[in-house]
Amino acid sequence: MGIELIAARPEHHEELGQICHRAFNTLHERHRVPADVPTKEVGHLIIGGVLHRPDYVGVVAVEDGRILGSNFLLLADEVCGVGPITVDPGVQARGVGRMLMQWVIDEARKRRGADASVRLFQEAVNTTSLSLYTRLGFHWRDSAALMQPAPASDASVRAMTSDDLPEVERLSMRHGGHSRVNDVRQLLKMEFPAFVRQREGRVVAYQVATLFGHTAGERNEDLLAIASHTASVLPGPMAVVLLPLSQRALFGAALSAGYRVSKVLNYMSLERFSPIPRPMMPSIQV
């Protein structure tokens, strides 16, 4: 019996979490870059976060009852986000990744039409996945530095509430090119750490922490201030941000402020895509 794809279900959580840890940790150890999923517990948190959200759909590759890997598609807002895609290191190079990626492409187009907006971040050290995604139709759009902000408390930053969602929508539309409000609404329900920065009584930036969160602000200083504040109240791994290198002034300012680069990722999309040169830090998916 060959490899087949089935819908991801809650009973897959335990095994998919372990595969998530093994897949990422094997890659990161091989290339000596910081580990995003250093333990199986972190893998379980990541898979649980997408497996139980109503605005994700997922697929699992199985062979003779053995789970080989999985992939997920975020459908919260206009732009669909891919991942996390993970394949057990013991069965890589057998076409499992291609099957899982083709599934999310087909699923996005089935749900959103032939011109569906589909985006992802790809680990720059993983030349195999870069080649695969390109062959499947994804195009490189930008590169981004995974950065550890320098912690600095800021009195203008406070916790986000649901009342701030209209401002999240405004900022994400203006600075990211599309609304992320539905995604943020779900992340708030899941109690992800989230913050806003105010200036003269007005919200000028927001951030949802972790790589599944994202940040937008009116000025570069707003993004640096809110990200640094987040780093002052959360553990380092939860405070990391993705900073597109096309935002040269923001990247330079971050380095001057003491931010450290951990590694580089590639921003890729299926649709035609023009980066918006306004202050923003995207999530690992969109």
Which strands, in side-by-side order, build the sheet including 202-208?
157-159, 194-199, 202-208, 215-217, 280-281
pLDDT cut 70: percent of the chain above it? 98
> What are the start and end residues of each CATH 3.40.630.30 domain in the chain?
4-116, 147-266
Instruction: Give the model's pLDDT for residue 286.
Output: 84
Q: What is the pLDDT of residues 30-50, one digit of tens each?
A: 888 888 898 999 999 999 999
Alpha carbon distance 115, 109 (integer Å)? 7
CATH number of 4-116: 3.40.630.30
Q: Of the candidates 280, 271, 241, 285, which has an alpha carbon nearest to the alpha carbon of residue 141?
A: 271
Instruction: State the pLDDT confidence band at 276, using cuts at 50, 70 and 90.
Output: low
pLDDT confidence tier of residue 277, bands split at 50, 70 and 90? low
Task: Check if the beta carbon of residue 236 is closer than 8 Å to that of residue 148.
Answer: yes
58's enclosing H/E stretch is strand 56-63
| pLDDT (mean) for 166-193 | 95
Q: Which CATH number fits domain 147-266: 3.30.300.30, 3.40.630.30, 3.40.50.620, 3.30.420.280?
A: 3.40.630.30
Helices of type H across the chain: 13-31, 40-51, 96-112, 127-135, 165-176, 181-189, 220-233, 236-239, 248-256
Residue 176 confidence (pLDDT) above 90 = no
- Using DSSP's 3-state secondary structure scheme, residue 26 falls into helix
Q: How far is CA 218 from CA 173, 203, 274, in A?
A: 12, 9, 19
